[in-house]
């Protein structure tokens, strides 16, 4: 895949994308990732006339265009849970946890999988009656950014007279005074603006802020449908969605290492689905996102990346 930004105005970015079949795609995209125009001459225009492989090339071009604009311009054009940068920040944040922290965040998922495999004594959730067997167990993961882990954040906090001896994750804003709250708000806005202007890499400052309750999904055509609706309405998009078929989680230490591998597979899927060969650290075999695995089964030019016996990267 190759890309070139051909223009930009107050509303959109224009691109030329060359896909892996050497077909050019002319794309116009808004800053939130919505594609307003997409033209190409290599495949039939109507989806009903396209082969599965042709449809996938078109979808790859659109995904690559969003990622290209994200990298080159910094706009938030990639869906959060498909963005390899965000998923890797989640992976790194999990790796930084000790086992007690990991259990406090993912203990319900571990408990449910342990129960499903027969070694647990009680489930963490009641599976809805409409769920398929086996269920796909899911939880949404949301990142927080600790600005006090950066030199910029520490300096700005000091300028605003804020305590820099604690991490941001440990500070409960319900316990601070109104004047302190105003200072935190001013600090947050100034940090966000300067971090954006300077292109500050925030991946090392990320932590797991919260996760959703467990819920289940099932395949429904080209999508995964949510079976139950007990989740509270989300105020933002998750940075990663964990989607696991029942596995044997063994012990917590094993399950934590499994999560690292699983998220590497998710990141692999993100690159593969935009037609890009994954970086070496993400050239791994195994299940990542469930619907990506469905694509590997049906699209002829994809190796079976989800098959543990595949030799996709040899």
| 191, part of any domain | yes
Residue 307 lies in a domain: no
The residue that leads in pLDDT, 234 or 7, is 7
303 domain residue, yes or no: no
Q: Report the pLDDT value the prediction gives residue 229, as an integer from 0 to 100.
A: 64
What pLDDT, on the 0 to 100 scale, is given for residue 220?
A: 73
Question: 39 and 14 in one domain?
Answer: yes
Q: What is the pTM of this model?
A: 0.82
Distance of CA 188 to the CA centre of its chain: 24
Last residue of a domain, one of 40, 73, 106: 73
Q: Is the pLDDT of residue 238 over 80?
A: yes
Asked if residue 195 and residue 69 are part of one domain, the reply reads no
Interval 110-136: pLDDT, tens: 999 999 887 778 888 888 877 777 788
Per the structure, the count of domains in the chain is 3
115 belongs to a structural domain: yes
The last residue of a domain, from among 185, 201, 217: 201
Q: Decide if 292 is inside a domain.
A: yes
C-alpha–C-alpha distance, residues 179 and 182, integer Å: 5
Q: Which domain holds residue 163?
A: 151-201
Question: Quick one: 271 and 128 in the same domain?
Answer: yes
Is residue 22 domain-shared with residue 68, that is, in the same domain?
Answer: yes
Residues 190 and 69 grouped into a single domain: no
Residue 127 shares a structural domain with residue 217: yes
Q: What is the pLDDT of residues 271-304, one digit of tens each?
A: 999 999 999 999 999 999 988 888 888 888 888 8
Q: Do 234 and 140 lie in a common domain? A: yes
Q: Which tens digits make up the pLDDT trace of 84-118?
A: 988 988 898 899 899 999 999 999 999 999 998 87
In a domain, 184, yes or no: yes
Contact yes or no for 280/146 (Cβ under 8 A):
no
Q: List, for residues 34-87, the tens digit of each pLDDT value.
A: 999 999 999 999 999 999 999 999 999 999 999 999 888 888 899 888 889 889
Q: Which of 73, 98, 130 is the last residue of a domain?
A: 73
213 and 280 housed in the same domain = yes
The confidence band for 225, taking pLDDT boundaries of 50, 70 and 90, is confident
Residues 123 and 165 in one domain: no
Name 239's Cβ contacts closer than 8 Å, sequence gap at least 6. 80, 81, 83, 86, 87, 89, 90, 141, 142, 143
Residues 139 and 156 in one domain: no
Report yes or no on 170 lying in a domain: yes
pLDDT given for residue 131 in this prediction:
76
Question: In the prediction, which pLDDT does 235 show?
Answer: 72
Predicted confidence band at 221 (pLDDT cuts at 50, 70, 90)?
low
304 in any annotated domain: no
pLDDT at 138: 92
Res. 155: pLDDT tops 90: no
């Amino acid at each position: 895949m190759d890309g070139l930004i051909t223009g930009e105005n107050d509303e959109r970015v224009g691109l030329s994308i060359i896909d892996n079949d050497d077909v050019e795609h002319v794309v116009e995209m808004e800053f939130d990732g919505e594609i307003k125009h997409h033209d190409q001459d290599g495949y039939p225009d109507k989806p009903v006339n396209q082969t599965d492989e042709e449809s996938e090339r078109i979808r790859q071009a659109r995904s690559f265009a969003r990622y290209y604009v994200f990298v080159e311009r910094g706009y938030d054009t990639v869906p959060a849970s498909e963005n390899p940068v965000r998923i890797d920040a989640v992976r790194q944040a999990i790796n930084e946890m000790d086992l007690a922290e990991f259990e406090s965040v993912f203990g319900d998922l571990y408990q449910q999988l342990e129960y499903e495999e027969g070694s647990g004594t009680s489930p963490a959730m009641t599976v809805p009656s409409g769920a398929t067997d086996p269920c796909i167990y899911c939880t949404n993961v949301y990142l927080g950014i600790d600005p006090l882990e950066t030199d910029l954040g520490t300096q700005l906090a000091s300028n605003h007279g804020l305590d820099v001896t604690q991490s941001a994750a440990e500070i409960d804003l319900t316990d601070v005074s109104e004047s302190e709250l105003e200072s935190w708000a001013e600090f947050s806005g100034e940090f966000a603006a300067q971090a954006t202007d300077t292109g500050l890499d925030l991946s090392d400052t990320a932590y797991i802020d919260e996760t959703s309750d467990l819920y289940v999904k099932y395949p429904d055509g080209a999508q995964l449908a949510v079976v139950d609706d007990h989740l509270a309405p989300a105020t933002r998009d998750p940075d990663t969605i964990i989607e696991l078929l029942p596995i044997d989680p063994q012990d917590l230490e094993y399950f934590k290492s499994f999560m690292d591998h699983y998220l590497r597979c998710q990141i692999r899927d993100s690159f593969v689905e935009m037609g890009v060969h994954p970086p070496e650290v993400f050239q791994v075999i195994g299940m990542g996102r469930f619907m990506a695995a469905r694509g590997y089964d049906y699209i002829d030019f994809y190796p079976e990346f989800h098959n543990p016996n595949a030799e996709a990267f040899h």
